[in-house]
Structure 1
Amino acid sequence: MGELESKSEITPDIRDAIRWLEGYSSIAELKVKSCSVDGVVVSTSWVVDLPIKFESVGETDSGVRSIEPVSWMFPWEYPLSAPKPTLRDDFPLTLPHINPIIEGKGVSPCIAEVDLTDLLHSSGIEAVFEAMTHWLNNAASGELLCPVQGWEPVRRDNASGLVSADTYAIREELKSYAPARYLRYRYVVSGNNHNLVLGYIETPSLGRANSVFKVKDVGILNGVRHGPALLLQVDRIVSEYWAESVKTLADLRWLLKKLQLSDAFDARLKHIMATSSPKACATHNKAGIEEFMVVIAVERPFNVIGADNPWELLPYRVRFAENSEQLADDVPVHAPLMIKSTCPAMLRSVSGEDQDAGVIPISFIGCGSLGSKMALHLAKSGKYEFSLIDNDFFSSHNNARYGSVVDDFDSIGGSKVNLVGRDIRALGVNVEQLKVDVLELGKSKPAIVDKKFRYILDTTASLPVRHFLAHRAKLTARLMHSILYGKAAMGVLAIEGKARCVRVDDLMAYTNTLCYKDDRVQKAMYGGTIARESFGDGCSSATTIMDDIGLSVLSAALAGKVNQYTGESAGLDEGQIHIGHLDKDYRLDWTSYVLPATLIIPRDTNFGWEIRVLGNIRDQIERESKGSSVEQGGVLAGMVCHLSKTIYVTLIVPAPDGTIRTPARFDIATNGLEEIFKDIHSATNGQITFLGTWHSHPTSSPPSPKDRDTYAKLTKNYDLPIVMLVHTGGRIERV
């Protein structure tokens, strides 16, 4: 190494570290070896604790000595970057936890599970030197392989290419022993450099017999080569660690013989040559491929690092000989690195989800700003499979707050279900795309989705869609409804009760009622003017103005609520409403409501309206009636839907002072009611209105003639349908 004039002086930080190292207990000798453009090299003699039986000779059978030279390279930017250790050039390379060897760079041990710079900054320089001591002592005692940490994969010093595969799926198949399986292998070559190969092994396997891999599976399409992969499975646990040494077919055959896989390989090599070799391709007038893949599955004594599974997968790229019917022993074999492809199992692992839990089928109605984000959040958990329903097209302004970033022609008319579906499919997650208006779909398929789907999530914010789902659809899946209000200041997730005992229209009627009770809900829903702007021709090009940050915070939180419900609360019978409030500092506050089953009083020939008494209102009436010796009662308020001829009883206004209550009489006073309902109308934008009254009968008796007379008078003086309810005999009846 050459001297660096501008860095001839060792920095104070490095000097302090060297001084600390001089006093370290495992150091027998220390010398500052050189300064260069890279940093300061410090040469040390490290004392190693050998097992007793090797102390007299000073060296173990594996080649670890009682005094090991260790060089430390302190970069000039230390302590921003940690020093790195290097061992002697002839240090035994058959040991695990040695970094891939780079020619001229020495032997670099992997002494910590974390990056050394992270270790330095979290625990100090002493922890770095302690890690070196621990590593050398374990190397001497043969304990570098640790069941707690996991089995160290075979070290590949000259890895050639990258191969991706769903290693979770492959390891799952290995639970059932088979000496050999065929899979499809596709790859691309960078220029003419066959060391720069990117490959992908498709799962699941095709099967065990030669007949499962056919000539039609081989060829080149749009520059992508398609050929065979052979998965060979060892039928015993292999406890020996080795470093990669396979470079030719002869080397590969030696390894296969060692693992007792020679017969399985040879029995299939002839078929591979007959279907996939350059000569076979020429015979079938196909462009020839250059290689095929062999993957050896070796079971280790304990889980492989990073796999949570004892099966180690060793891939090899075997090159074909040009126009030869057989492969000579000297044909090149390359050892690529295998990486996990994106798949649901990987997503679950990264997300901390249970690998053994079943997949949850969920259907999204609407792939707009909210729907696209929520769908992708859930997809990335690896827990779900999807159906997407939307007939809308993407417009360039959607990029301001969409779940995907869309460019080129897709941004001027791409199908939203295709765009979101493409991203979900890229995660390896199953998705079906229905480019159709859900209202049209419902005409031929009232259930909307197949029976396997357990949940439907409507994110359209469309009133006609909500009306259809509430009144027309014949759903077997549990319906959820998510919507944003107030420029993404509030998000709502409404979840129907079991068997639709609480419907989405009940839940949203209650949400409207909350505007009278909760100022934040009122402000978000009706407290300001909705800003809209057109980004194209025509009224239909108008969109609500809100920023992506707030929408993203709420969409992630709403998706989290969905994920939480499907995992923890799916057995609840009640309906639920979760309301999240996002303030200007992006703090999120949740309030949740649980509604028991709605009481339904069906329409009949005398009264053509269905009355839906929300479960909490029914419970309140029953509580106030129970045990009372006099008639109780109050004023009913709620929503009226003329399109479906449905009345929702969502609120009870207490009877004003002056109301007469006797065992046989309930005369309600009216003072103050006008002002109360003015406030209710104002707070709810006129959605919640006066409906009628309720009262109880202490003894079980049907509605009295006086009840019917009062009902007739109310009906005569009021334009909207009037509801009068009586609690009698333990049940609620309509007068």
Structure 2
Amino acid sequence: MASEQQMNAHAETFLRAALGHPQCAGGSTDLVSEQVVSLTIALEVEMSQSAVAAGESQTGVRRLERVEVILSEGYPWIAPFFFLRKDFPRNLHHLSSATVHAAPMPCLVDGDVNEFFTSYPLLESGILAMINQMCLWLARAARGSLSNAVHGWEAILRNDARHDIICDAEMIRKRVGTKPGWFVLESRFYRFGTFTESIRSRVESFVFVGNKLNTLSPTLENRKNLPFDATTSTEPVKGHTVTVVLYPGTDSVLDKVLPDTVSTIRELRERAVDLGCAAPFNAFLTRLENRLQGYCHPSPITIGVLFCVKRPHVLMDRSSDLELIPYVFDLILEQGRMSLFAPVRAKDVAAARQIDDVSAALLHRVSGAQTIPPVSLIGCGSVGSKIAFHLARSGVTITSVTDNKYIRPHNLARHALLERFSIPKAQVLVEELERLDQRPSAIVRDVASDLADPRSVSAFVPEGTGLVINTTASLVVRERLSAIPVGDVSARLTEVVLFGRGKCAVVLIEGAGRSPNLVDLLAWLTAHLTDDERDLMFDPQHGLTQVQIGDGCGSLTMPMTDARLSAMAAMATEEIMRVASAPEDGGQVAIGVIGNDGLSTAWRRMSVEPFIQIPVQGGDWTLRLSNDVDRRIREETARFPAVETGGLLIGSCSARLRTVSIVDIINAPPDSERTPSLFVLGTQGLKAAVKARHVASGESLFDIGTWHSHLAEQGPSALDLKTAVEIAAERSPPAILLIRTPNGYHAVMGERRA
């Protein structure tokens, strides 16, 4: 607690700074104690010449306004409070609610006033900034420009209210009719404070409004439908209640700002008259009285009231012109009461804040995230669960989540879910996502095997899905997804996978028409890694390891902290949202690596153009040629326009997809022979080059075959076919011969004979 001497020093400092403001005409100290200082400052208000001559503006603001400043016990760690004179006009915007007996408080800043004041390191600067805001507010009040159609109608200010009504505002607005009316929604409430305290005292309450209507049938014959109950021995008091929504009808427009001074049921009735809701409000109170006749309860039950009125223009930062004006009052259901509002405390009413309930729209608005299509998530492990919550908290619609595994205790080391029981991960994730206004389907099936049936695809990727995110890190799942025809699933396929014990994250986003697909992209990335990235992706010391999770039980996992996984999953989600909000035709690859300092993270992103698809003659394989390999082959061919040339093909293959992805080449050794009709690949250093390339790729890229050029537009020659057969006899397929002609490509594979 500060001493009276310290508080007096604060008063002197404030006055000294205030008198330095050009619009401060004087000031005085009215009260100093250990708890509070009360000051008065006189501020000259900027206004028109006619207003100056009249002594006040048309809105009732005087040329010289005396403002009371309160420095509370927490000052200067909290901001000073500014109060206007008690008879100051209250029909203005940016005024906090107050009774007619209390001085009105203006809203001086957009946001937290304490953060604004304490953002100034010098106390005097903070004081001058607050006074400057006060002068700006008074000038706008004098001009009547505290609100305008351009910025939108400002809802009644309730920042200082102690009560919240949390509701789906859009749902309520949609139910409002064109003529006067009312409806009741079942709600839950929490009331903090003693049973005997008035709702206008230190009590705080929260009313959570549901979507279910209740007619408040006039009798108590059916007790099961009584929407009122509460706990009797705990604080907070909590239970079931109702919220009434009253409206004058959307045909009625209210363009006045009414003084926010309601504090009793009588004044609330009067306010209902002002808002055009007198008949609906009286009907509600009568129905409530009849419904609760003879019903007693020892605990106060908080009722929510929402007036829904139409304003002359759209509300500020909203898309509707219907304003919700909230209040709360307590039901005091004493035995022997003469009427519902006979008890003294039952007459009190308090202003409340209308808070939007959790919704995808709210989360999207608060997060400021890009708008992306609905997402289907495959894999609900640590990475998948983190990404699911990042997306849901950004307001992205999640259509389905897929995983056939169960939650185990060791999953809690990194998983976003906190459930320890052996229930499906997908099911638990769906239950948690519902709290964020998501309604995804839980698919507890083995995606790797079930995607083999084309009829199953719609279950994993529901209609309306625009993006599929694979987080399983499974090669089989990657291949299954890449094999889905575009006609069956038009959604874009993406993948997030971590390497190097969470120090490396990779994001793959396929191109239009599945070209490049996820298999192509990972092979392409493997061919374009930096040394650091290569170490993290392929060095065994950074890979999977067996971790004991019980006696005789182990889990093959990649040890890493939850913090590291969360950080990389968050950035991967950001990258997916960035690309999905402005999709390109080609594929996208992003890779992030945590630096050796453990703090910095470097990301680089690369665009991958569509692959060229070439059917392979002599086998049911398809060769998929990356655009940059195509460019290098054409450049090499251009270097030798009069003779055939060639080299070695490097890539990956999938026996299940029957595809070969070519992502690199090794140039012909120096002992190669080039003539106008024949190219013979040399051998000098070739074996060592192939081995080095294989090892550098983590043994994931192979020598797939050879390529050579033809000077004329012709397919495989007899010699080419013979060579293909010979190669097939020496090695397992695929062994591709790729021929570059002036206008395109031919691919051939020799038939392997027993």
TM-score above 0.5? yes
User: Structure 2 residue aligned with 1:109, among 106, 117, 122?
Assistant: 106
Q: 1:227 to 1:80 in 2, by over 3 A?
A: closer
Q: Report what 1:22 is aligned to.
A: 19
SS of alignment partner, residue 737 of structure 2 = strand
1:14-93 equivalence runs, <5 A = 15-38=12-35, 40-48=37-45, 58=55, 64-74=61-71, 79-93=76-90
Paired AA for residue 458 in structure 1: N
Q: 1:513 to 1:731 in 2, by over 3 A?
A: same
Question: Aligned partners of 2:214, 2:739: CA distance in 1, in Å?
Answer: 69
Q: Report what 1:240 is aligned to.
A: 256
Q: 1:501 to 1:39 in 2, by over 3 A?
A: same
SS of alignment partner, residue 427 of structure 2 = helix
Question: Aligned partners of 1:75, 1:160: CA distance in 2, in Å?
Answer: 19
Q: Report what 1:573 is aligned to.
A: 585
1:344-369 Cα shifts (integer Å, max 9, x gaps) = 22122212247xx6x72211011111
User: Structure 2 residue aligned with 1:259, among 231, 252, 275?
Assistant: 275
Paired AA for residue 32 in structure 2: C
Q: Report what 1:483 is aligned to.
A: 497
SS of alignment partner, residue 541 of structure 1 = strand
SS of alignment partner, residue 580 of structure 1 = strand
Question: Aligned partners of 2:660, 2:393: CA distance in 1, in Å?
Answer: 41
**Is the CA contact 1:218–1:228 (under 8 Å) kept in the aligned structure 2?**
no
Question: Aligned partners of 2:5, 2:162: CA distance in 1, in Å?
Answer: 39
**Is the CA contact 1:633–1:694 (under 8 Å) kept in the aligned structure 2?**
yes
User: Structure 1 residue aligned with 2:536, among 505, 516, 524?
Assistant: 524
User: Structure 1 residue aligned with 2:426, among 401, 417, 423?
Assistant: 417
Identify unmatched segments of 5+ residues in structure 1.
Answer: none
Paired AA for residue 560 in structure 2: M
Question: Aligned partners of 2:73, 2:229: CA distance in 1, in Å?
Answer: 51
Q: Report what 1:470 is aligned to.
A: 482
Alpha-carbon distance, 1:313 to partner: 0.5
CA RMSD of superposed structures (Å):
4.2
1:379-390 equivalence runs, <5 A = 379-390=392-403
1:35-68 Cα shifts (integer Å, max 9, x gaps) = 3213544333334456655656745676544443
Q: Report what 1:187 is aligned to.
A: 188
Q: Percent identity?
A: 26
**Is the CA contact 1:391–1:435 (under 8 Å) kept in the aligned structure 2?**
yes
User: Structure 2 residue aligned with 1:219, among 211, 216, 227?
Assistant: 227
Q: Report what 1:230 is aligned to.
A: 245
Q: Report what 1:315 is aligned to.
A: 326
**Is the CA contact 1:451–1:477 (under 8 Å) kept in the aligned structure 2?**
no
Question: Aligned partners of 1:522, 1:45: CA distance in 2, in Å?
Answer: 70
**Is the CA contact 1:155–1:243 (under 8 Å) kept in the aligned structure 2?**
no
Paired AA for residue 380 in structure 2: C
User: Structure 1 residue aligned with 2:516, among 488, 499, 502?
Assistant: 502
**Is the CA contact 1:181–1:205 (under 8 Å) kept in the aligned structure 2?**
no
Q: 1:62 to 1:480 in 2, by over 3 A?
A: closer
Q: 1:654 to 1:161 in 2, by over 3 A?
A: same
Q: 1:39 to 1:149 in 2, by over 3 A?
A: farther
Question: Aligned partners of 1:215, 1:66: CA distance in 2, in Å?
Answer: 62
Q: Report what 1:10 is aligned to.
A: 9
User: Structure 1 residue aligned with 2:457, among 413, 423, 446?
Assistant: 446
Q: 1:48 to 1:692 in 2, by over 3 A?
A: closer
1:200-349 equivalence runs, <5 A = 200-203=208-211, 219=227, 224-225=239-240, 227=242, 229-232=244-247, 233-246=249-262, 251-262=267-278, 277-278=291-292, 293-305=304-316, 307=318, 309-317=320-328, 332=347, 334=349, 335-349=351-365
Are 1:650 and 2:651 an aligned pair?
Answer: no
Question: Aligned partners of 2:101, 2:2: CA distance in 1, in Å?
Answer: 19
Paired AA for residue 434 in structure 1: I
Paired AA for residue 582 in structure 2: E
Q: Report what 1:199 is aligned to.
A: 207
Paired AA for residue 138 in structure 2: L
Q: Report what 1:691 is aligned to.
A: 704
Alpha-carbon distance, 1:676 to partner: 0.5
Alpha-carbon distance, 1:537 to partner: 4.6
Q: 1:159 to 1:464 in 2, by over 3 A?
A: same
Q: Report what 2:623 is aligned to.
A: 611
Q: Report what 1:133 is aligned to.
A: 135
SS of alignment partner, residue 412 of structure 2 = helix
1:75-112 Cα shifts (integer Å, max 9, x gaps) = 67765444333344444444443334489985433333
Q: Report what 2:689 is aligned to.
A: 676
Q: 1:246 to 1:277 in 2, by over 3 A?
A: farther
Q: 1:470 to 1:707 in 2, by over 3 A?
A: same
Q: 1:641 to 1:328 in 2, by over 3 A?
A: closer
User: Structure 2 residue aligned with 1:554, among 559, 568, 572?
Assistant: 568
Paired AA for residue 311 in structure 1: L
Number of aligned residues: 709
Q: 1:173 to 1:537 in 2, by over 3 A?
A: farther
**Is the CA contact 2:506–2:589 (under 8 Å) kept in the aligned structure 1?**
yes
Q: TM-score, normalised by structure 2?
A: 0.81
Q: Report what 2:168 is aligned to.
A: 166
Alpha-carbon distance, 1:371 to partner: 0.9
Tell which deviates more after alignment, 65-74 or 697-706. 65-74
Question: Aligned partners of 2:524, 2:47: CA distance in 1, in Å?
Answer: 75
SS of alignment partner, residue 446 of structure 1 = helix
Q: 1:172 to 1:707 in 2, by over 3 A?
A: same
Paired AA for residue 611 in structure 1: L
Question: Aligned partners of 2:8, 2:436: CA distance in 1, in Å?
Answer: 52
**Is the CA contact 1:156–1:243 (under 8 Å) kept in the aligned structure 2?**
no
Tell which deviates more after alignment, 710-719 or 486-495. 710-719
SS of alignment partner, residue 387 of structure 2 = helix
Alpha-carbon distance, 1:576 to partner: 2.4
SS of alignment partner, residue 675 of structure 1 = helix
Question: Aligned partners of 1:497, 1:61: CA distance in 2, in Å?
Answer: 64
Question: Aligned partners of 2:92, 2:683: CA distance in 1, in Å?
Answer: 91
Are 1:367 and 2:380 an aligned pair?
Answer: yes
Q: 1:603 to 1:84 in 2, by over 3 A?
A: same
Identify unmatched segments of 5+ residues in structure 2.
Answer: 231-237, 749-754
Q: Report what 1:393 is aligned to.
A: 406
Paired AA for residue 712 in structure 2: T
Q: TM-score, normalised by structure 1?
A: 0.83
Question: Aligned partners of 1:603, 1:366: CA distance in 2, in Å?
Answer: 34
**Is the CA contact 1:112–1:131 (under 8 Å) kept in the aligned structure 2?**
yes
Q: Report what 1:731 is aligned to.
A: 744
Alpha-carbon distance, 1:197 to partner: 4.2
Question: Aligned partners of 2:363, 2:316: CA distance in 1, in Å?
Answer: 18
